[in-house]
Chain A
Amino acid sequence: MSSPASPSLFAALFVRDLRLALRRRTEALLPIGFFVVAVALFPLGVGPEPQTLRQIAPGVIWVCALLAAMLSVSQLYASDFADGTLEQLLLTGGSTTLIAAARAAAHWALTGLPLVVAAPLFGLLFDLSGAALRVLALTLLLGTPVLSLLGSLGAALTLGLRSAGVLVILIVLPLAIPALIFGSGAVAAVDAGLSASAHLSLLGALLIVTALGVPPATAAALRISTE
């Protein structure tokens, strides 16, 4: 008997989260449902003018993706905190940073990845070109993990607090603005006939920084919250 190897702990948490999501389909599908409904409403509300739709498409899709991620992130650690699982996780001997990374990865797989797949389809509603759709998918692939990582940090910081859901949004939304700007900017650049490489590079750099910096910060917040 020993403390679990890091890959084993990561896999155990990741698989458990996916399994729980399968068992709670309504909860799991809520962010995606919100995204689909919100994005689909814009063409109806703004009107069928293709040029207008093309202009607003990147911003609309990215804002909806951001809000969809926020819908589920406040509960990321709440259930584990309430039922004692979080205490057990902190006692495993495994890295708390790894635990934070596993939870963020599972959150992304459940909420971010479906958006990466679905967003290009919804881009068709906005009359986006093939090149713009490809870049849109790429920006979401790079940007949605950033949202999950930042969301997990916000969830850990507000663990056990009253009105945690609102506080998470207030903490995370300002931090997510760069991802929003670079993500929607890349698609707008392609739509304008310019290169999106600068935006994509910045988005990639943002992903690297958050992937390296946020899990340790989340781990520290979890330890403080469980004191």
Chain B
Amino acid sequence: MTNHSIRTVLSAVPISPSIDSTFHVSEPHLAARGLACRRGTRLLFENVDLALRPGELVWLRGRNGRGKTSLLRLVAGIATPEAGEVLLDGTPIAANGERSRRVVYLGHQHALKDDLTSAEALEFLLRIHGRRSDRASVDTALEHWDMLGQRNTWVRRLSQGQRRRVALARLVGEHEASLWLLDEPFDALDADGVQRLNTLLLQHLQRGGAVLLTGHQATLAPTLRARELDLDDCAAA
């Protein structure tokens, strides 16, 4: 797939029939134009265009080291692109005062402290992001991931899959049609976890949210009708 065709696919593909189309508006949630990323002396990718409208999910693919995580970080506004720009609701994302409310970024690292309990770690993350972090909200989020029984367990005693569940529990309390940027969200999840995440993703798309995620395996439910963006096609020459 060429850069041009990717651009066309991502901006013109109609929404899945299973998703409510009333959330569609002409202006995309997210518009990235001509993105390029450099790591040291190496140009990872260039001329990446991306438009994400409400109700859309884009699956970011590519070989190891191609720059999937880097692209997510550029889109989140954590890093600055070598070239191009990222607009969130028409405003540069780094300067968008609504970013914390409109964007949820879950990196490959869980952002959980080993010396906190599951509940404490989740409460901290919810609190710094301005979300409801009372005990009921935390317990509801953990219960959704079948982790309520582990609420007082040290994070260091959790398995990788359980840590991933606690990190993903942040998404349970999200009720806005925001943009989710998820780096390898299915990593370490078992079949039950994959199903729970697919359910959350579907609910989010149905309320008009948008999702950009990375992953190496096709664990997304077919009902999500994910679009694919293959960064191998955008590799710098």
| Chain A residues close to B by CB (< 8 Å) | 1-5, 8-9, 12-13, 16, 19-20, 23-24, 79, 82-85, 87-94, 226-227
Mask: chain B, 122-166; 1 = CB below 8 Å from A; 0 = not: 001101111110000000000000000000000000000000000
**A91, B116: Cβ atoms closer than 8 Å:** no
**Cα separation A1 to B99 with both chains bound (whole Å):** 12
Given contacts A19-B116, A19-B120, A91-B100, is CB(A1)–CB(B111) below 8 Å? no
| Chain B residues close to A by CB (< 8 Å) | 73, 76-80, 97, 99-101, 103, 105, 107-113, 115-116, 120, 124-125, 127-132, 174-176
- Tell me if B's interface is mostly helix, strand, loop or mixed: loop
User: Chain A residues with Cβ under 8 A from B132's Cβ?
Assistant: 1
**B128, A24: Cβ atoms closer than 8 Å:** no
A-B contacts, 23 of them at CB < 8 A, read: A1-B131, A1-B132, A3-B100, A9-B128, A12-B127, A13-B128, A19-B116, A23-B116, A24-B115, A82-B109, A84-B108, A84-B109, A84-B110, A87-B111, A88-B107, A88-B111, A89-B128, A91-B129, A92-B130, A93-B99, A93-B100, A226-B79, A227-B80
**B101, A4: Cβ atoms closer than 8 Å:** no
**A93, B80: Cβ atoms closer than 8 Å:** no
Find the B residue at minimum CB distance from A227. Answer: B79
**B129, A92: Cβ atoms closer than 8 Å:** yes
**B128, A2: Cβ atoms closer than 8 Å:** no
**B125, A88: Cβ atoms closer than 8 Å:** yes
**A12, B128: Cβ atoms closer than 8 Å:** yes
**Cα separation A219 to B222 with both chains bound (whole Å):** 43
